[in-house]
Amino acid sequence: MTADAAASSAATAGSAASPQRTRVVIVGAGPAGLTVANILRGASVDCVVLETESREFIEQRPRAGFLEEWAVRALEGRGLADRLLANAGVHTECEFRLAGERHRFPYADVSGHRHYVYPQPLLVTDLVREYADVRGGDIRFGVRDVEPDGIDTDRPWVTYTDARTGERVRVDCEFIAGCDGARGVTHTRMPPEHVTVARHDLGVGWLALLAEAPPSSDCVVLGIHPRGFAGHMARSPQVTRYYLECPPGDDPENWPYERVWAELHERLAADGAPPLIEGPLIEKRVLAMHNYVVEPMAYGRLFLAGDSAHLLAPIGAKGMNLAIHDALLLADALVAYCGKDDDSGLRGYSAACLRRVWQYQEFSQWLSEVFHGTSSGDPFRAGTSVARLRRALVSPAAAIGFAELFMGKDTDY
């Protein structure tokens, strides 16, 4: 069913008086929700996806770009990676720049795993197309005021307002998958007495930039500099993502074109480095660099997946990978329950996800100190953070530990 047809059929068929019925309502059509939806649809488990934005919007929203190899292989195993494998770039190394020197780190040699560079909007486009156009799944865009309810019963439901008709629609279900990201509603409906929300503020801001310019290096470049961290990440042959550490809550208007490029040139300077290729800045915003984890990730019939359950500042390129990890576990658990009445996956879901979540959080915190210690103004932090990086660059044992976490390999400790 197309998005528009689904939206209008929802509006006609559904109202508070005549609820619709499905097995799983998935709130949010990001990487997590769409992965769950595709796997359920592939296993003939009835589901409905609700998304506040339009299809065009989510297919263009720029965000992540790096997928870990295990995630790509898992998507491939579900028939969800054809276009990704045909079009993604493959990265095997990154480069640290420190005190004017370049240090290549060949993480694929060390860990046996690679990164796939595939912009999140392309992955979302592929997953929507597969779910809605190929597998005929029900996805409703532009919904308003989504409200999950009855999550502590075995017949929960979700209501929403159809934006075009203004009608309130109710969908009865057995499970709700809360995949609506950090600003969504589902995680706020977990009863506070049953969950802990662990938070960590990194104490810095990052100016996130997309430049209409080809990459200036064949790999990710991570600049450690007394003026602040700077990062360079390829997105496509035409577009490159850059990051600049800035004060928390800084105004992007404080960063005109000339200042951005002057800081990038200075912070990423190193002997023998190819010059940065400048280009117009097509995205410029300041990220709040904080992390959180909602624990447990499930209550009653509500299961959280992705950023709704845990947020990682984009240090180490982890968020989309974790969202996919949750989605795979949740979808498999729902298929087992719906097909074989086996609830073991659902019972173990939160604990299984959280093992990887906490490993990634710890890695992000470790790497944050490497990135930000030098510019902290604290000479002790500056010294220890550089020592931390030099150890990973020089000691084979330390390099393996770093590379395995960077690639998300064997992290279910």
Joined together, the tokens standing for residue 358 give 């906490």
- What whole-number distance in Å separates Cα of residue 301 and Cα of residue 180? 16
- Measured from the CB of residue 309, what is the shortest distance to ligand FAD in angstroms? 8
Q: Which of 20, 111, 240, 321 binds ligand FAD (CB under 6 A)?
A: 321
367 binds ligand FAD (CB under 6 A): no
184 binds ligand FAD (CB under 6 A): yes
141 binds ligand FAD (CB under 6 A): no
- What whole-number distance in Å separates Cα of residue 107 and Cα of residue 110? 5
Q: Could you tell me which of 310, 346, 352 has the C-alpha nearest to residue 24?
A: 346
- Measured from the CB of residue 143, what is the shortest distance to ligand FAD in angstroms? 6
- What whole-number distance in Å separates Cα of residue 91 and Cα of residue 114? 6
Report the residue number, 138 or 307, with the smaller CB distance to ligand FAD: 307
148 binds ligand FAD (CB under 6 A): no
162 binds ligand FAD (CB under 6 A): no
Among the candidate windows 52-60, 165-173, 193-201, 387-395, which touches ligand FAD by CB under 6 A? Answer: 52-60
119 binds ligand FAD (CB under 6 A): no
| H-run or E-run covering 283 | strand 281-295
Q: Between residue 54 and residue 93, which ones bind ligand FAD under the rule CB under 6 A?
A: 58, 63-66
Most distant CA atoms of the chain, gap in Å:
70
- Measured from the CB of residue 340, what is the shortest distance to ligand FAD in angstroms? 27
Joined together, the tokens standing for residue 30 give 């990001």
Report the residue number, 311 or 392, with the smaller CB distance to ligand FAD: 311
CB 206 within 8 A of CB 310: no
205 binds ligand FAD (CB under 6 A): no
Query: Cα-flanking dihedrals φ and ψ of residue 323, to 5°?
Result: -60, -40
Helices 31-42 and 319-340 pack at an angle, to 10 degrees, of 30
Query: Beta strand pairing status for 89-91 and 115-117?
Result: antiparallel
Q: Which residues bind ligand FAD (CB under 6 A)?
A: 27-33, 50-53, 58, 63-66, 120, 146, 179-181, 183-185, 208, 306-307, 314, 317-321, 323
